[in-house]
């Protein structure tokens, strides 16, 4: 067990709830394997206290913070600086100490990008479907636009939310490739093969037998599927993709890589792939996930 000393850097997670978080496992093991004197803990923070919590953390010399639901938007008002992409997305999940306060980043998008690289999924020049239009979808749509996707179709239950997200990303990145649609209108999609990314909570355990789109015909259009859910390890969406003999991935590596990206920002380091994969195996063991 590592010794906690007066010189130990303290990092943590703010959100509500936070008791279930696997982030301490990720960061404390990264610190151990990288031989960095750092301890990571969780802080439950009420929505009305976010600004006070961030200011207090700075005054207490907290080295860095992660931010989870429901504070990823609200925390922006408590920052002294923000990464431009995080500002465009409208969500921050990592705070790095700066002069007079914290600077905000979105490592969710960085983590997802690294998962795609790991899976050899190329966004540039390809057509993409995003299922959902919530916070996670927003970050991923911005990534697809930034990486030069040929088209981005956002399928969502509420048409207005999908259209607003498409409008936001097109305007922010000065492109015209994002299109919002109602999810039940998927049959109107062009006859192409799409990288398909599932960002909703449909299929999350214990609702393992649900998928956002049940009709098998839809999956003829899928070239490769990515579900940001990691429990269950194989969602029904993934099973439907695989029924068409296509490859599908879950979201566990996105969770891992967003943590790795935050850790690297805090410590100005680059974590080796061997250590990353070691932590990945520990995560699977902790969550009782079997591939």
**Please, what CATH class does the domain formed by 110-250 belong to?**
alpha beta
Give this prediction's pTM.
0.91
Q: What is the 3-state secondary structure (H, E, C) of 177-242?
A: CEEEEEHHHHHHCCCCCEEEEECCCCCCCCCCCCCCCCCHHHHHHEEEEEECCCCCCCCHHHHHHH
Q: Is 134 annotated as a binding residue?
A: yes
72 is catalytic: yes
Q: Do domains 9-105+253-286 and 110-250 have the same CATH topology?
A: yes
* pLDDT tens by residue, 209-268: 999 999 999 999 999 999 999 889 999 999 999 999 999 999 999 999 999 999 999 999
What would the pLDDT profile of 145-203 be if each residue is shown by its tens digit? 999 999 999 999 999 999 999 999 999 999 999 999 999 999 999 999 999 999 999 99
Question: Can you tell me which residue has the tokens 């999908």?
Answer: 162
What phi, psi does 28 have (nearest 5°)? -70, -35
Residue 69 has pLDDT above 90, yes or no: no
- Is residue 251 part of an annotated ligand binding site? yes
Q: Which of 3.40.50.170, 3.40.50.10860, 3.40.50.300, 3.40.120.10 is the CATH number of 9-105+253-286?
A: 3.40.50.10860
Q: What is the pLDDT of residue 2?
A: 75
Q: Do 167 and 234 form a contact (C-beta atoms < 8 A)?
A: no
Domain ranges of the chain: 9-105+253-286, 110-250
pLDDT digits (tens, 9 = 90+) for 266-280: 999 999 999 999 999
Residue 178 annotated as part of some ligand binding site: no
Q: Which of 9, 49, 72, 167 is catalytic?
A: 72
């Amino acid at each position: 067990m590592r010794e906690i000393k007066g010189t130990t850097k303290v990092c943590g997670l703010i959100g509500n709830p936070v008791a279930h978080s696997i982030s301490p496992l990720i960061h404390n093991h990264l610190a151990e394997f990288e031989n960095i004197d750092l301890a990571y803990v969780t802080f439950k923070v009420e929505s009305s206290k976010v600004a006070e919590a961030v200011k207090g953390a700075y005054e207490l010399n907290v080295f860095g913070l992660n931010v989870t639901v429901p504070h990823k938007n609200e925390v922006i008002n408590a920052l002294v600086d923000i990464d431009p992409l995080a500002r465009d997305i409208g969500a921050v999940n990592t705070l790095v100490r700066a002069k007079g306060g914290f600077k905000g980043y979105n490592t969710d998008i960085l983590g997802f990008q690294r998962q795609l690289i790991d899976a050899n999924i190329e966004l540039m020049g390809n057509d993409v479907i995003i299922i959902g239009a919530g916070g996670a979808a927003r970050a991923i749509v911005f990534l697809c636009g930034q990486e030069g996707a040929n088209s981005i179709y956002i399928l969502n239950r509420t048409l207005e939310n999908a259209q607003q997200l498409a409008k936001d990303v097109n305007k922010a990145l000065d492109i015209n490739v994002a299109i919002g649609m109602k999810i039940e209108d998927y049959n109107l999609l062009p006859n192409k093969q799409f990288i398909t990314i599932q960002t909703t909570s449909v299929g999350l355990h214990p609702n393992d037998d649900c998928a956002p789109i049940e009709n098998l015909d839809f999956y003829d259009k899928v070239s490769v599927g990515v579900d940001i859910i990691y429990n269950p390890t194989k969602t029904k969406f993934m099973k439907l993709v695989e029924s068409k003999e296509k490859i599908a991935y879950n979201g566990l590596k996105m969770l891992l890589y967003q943590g790795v990206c935050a850790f690297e920002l805090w410590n100005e380091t680059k974590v080796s792939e061997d250590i990353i994969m070691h932590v990945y195996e520990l995560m699977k063991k902790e969550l009782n996930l079997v591939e």
